[in-house]
A and B are shown apart, each in its own frame.
Chain A
Amino acid sequence: MIVCVAVVGHQNNPLYIQSFTEADDALKLHHIVHCSLDVVDERVNNPKKSGPTLNETFLGLLYPTENYKVYGYLTNTKVKFILVTTDLDVRDADVRNFFRRFHAAYVDAVSNPFHVPDKKITSRTFAERVSNIVKSFGLSSAG
């Protein structure tokens, strides 16, 4: 289950962060997202260490903690997407598919003429789309 997703701007400023747990652990999740940003920077600056192809937007598994797996994605415009899940057995294809759909939702959100670049994403449509993408995580490619 996905417990948290985030969009992070150029100065590592959060543009959108949403947790999907009943428990009151938002703070902990935000901390995990925050810690993952350094890993993203490191991956991008030392590309040889990362598994996926050079400069690929999908950065793969950033780091596993005891209870979570954290995945990262960096767009061509240097915006970071972070995904935190409690699933231990995650398929690469599912994560890639998640980020592809998430990216499409993000692009539409910043295409709103009233959106200000590098400012928080307040769009309700975006929040709804993200929520749907989160809910269907791992389902689409099952069949």
Chain B
Amino acid sequence: MGREVSESCVDSLLTEMVSSYCNRLYANKPELAAPRIEAIGYQVGHQLSERYTMERPRFSDHLEAIKFICKDFWSELFKKQIDNLKTNHRGTFVLQDNKFRWLSHMSVDPSSENGSTVEDNSVAAGESKATQATSMHLYFPCGIIRGALSNLGIPCAVSADISNLPACSFVIRIKA
């Protein structure tokens, strides 16, 4: 068993990282904060995929790599696997975590039922602040997934869908 830290270290760090970028460094400029939070996730995902694939044979196709993200990779990070994997067999994969840990640890305004997608950088009028904050938090795990897959030779775009809280779906679109 490797080294461990308390989970609240990670939670505090992520909360503060998002808050620093959204409230201090790029206040009111979510279009500048978002790609930076994503880039932090990308670097982490890139490094973690190197680490977590160390003792295993190379993946022979995209599906095998995605399954690795759903199972081993997710378990290392969240001590559980992705609950549901769907694909249209044309390069789009939807990974659903029924109770995404990094959201359940945040106080998310329950009124944000209309949901949102991280893909859409512009903040719709009337969208609650809480939903916006949640979206900002999701750029980090989206970046992690994109970084991990791209290091495995799979360039892709990743977005998150929280229209079904506390479930969270990550949508992976592989670039042809």
Most buried by B among A53, A77, A103, A117: A77
- The answer to whether residues A111 and B51 also contact, given A74-B58, A76-B59 and a CB cut-off of 8 A, is yes
**Which applies to chain B's interface (DSSP): helix, strand, loop or mixed?**
loop
Taking chain A's interface residues, is the majority helix, strand, or loop, or is none over half, making it mixed?
loop
Interface contact B57-A107, CB-CB below 8 Å? no
B101-134 to A contact mask, C-beta < 8 Å, 1/0: 0000000000000000000000000000000000
Supposing A78-B153, A117-B151 touch, asked if A104 and B54 sit within 8 A by C-beta, the answer is yes
Known: A55-B59, A76-B59, A113-B43. Contact between A107 and B151, CB under 8 A?
no
Q: Is the pair B153, A75 in contact by a Cβ cutoff of 8 Å?
A: no
Q: How far is the CA of A54 from the CA of B43 in the complex (A)?
A: 30
Determine the distance from Cα of A98 to Cα of B57 in the docked complex, in whole angstroms.
17
Chain A interface size, under 10 / 10 to 19 / 20 to 34 / 35 or more: 10 to 19
CA–CA, A113 and B46, complex, Å: 11
Bound CA span A104–B153, Å: 20
Which residues of chain B have C-beta atoms less than 8 A from A110's C-beta?
Answer: 47, 50
> CB distance A77 to B43 under 8 Å?
no
Given A77-B152, A78-B153, A117-B151, does the pair A107, B51 have CB atoms closer than 8 Å? yes
Chain B minimum-CB-distance residue to A112: B47
**A57 at interface, CB cutoff 8 A:** yes
Q: Does B89 contact A (CB under 8 A)?
A: no
| Cβ B60 vs Cβ A55 within 8 A | yes
Is the Cβ of A76 less than 8 Å from the Cβ of B53?
A: yes
**Which parts of B141-170 form the interface with A (CB within 8 Å)?**
151-153
Most central of B43, B50, B151 by chain A CB within 10 Å? B50
Q: What residue in chain A is nearest B55 (Cβ atoms)?
A: A100
| A107 CA / B151 CA spacing, docked (Å) | 13
Interface mask (B50-90 → A, CB under 8 Å = 1, otherwise 0): 11011111111000000000000000000000000000000
Taking Cβ atoms with an 8 Å cutoff, the residues of B that contact A are 43, 46-47, 49-51, 53-60, 151-153
19 of the cross-chain contacts (CB-CB < 8 Å) are A54-B57, A55-B57, A55-B60, A57-B56, A57-B58, A74-B58, A75-B53, A76-B53, A77-B49, A77-B53, A77-B151, A77-B152, A78-B58, A104-B54, A110-B47, A110-B50, A111-B50, A111-B51, A117-B151
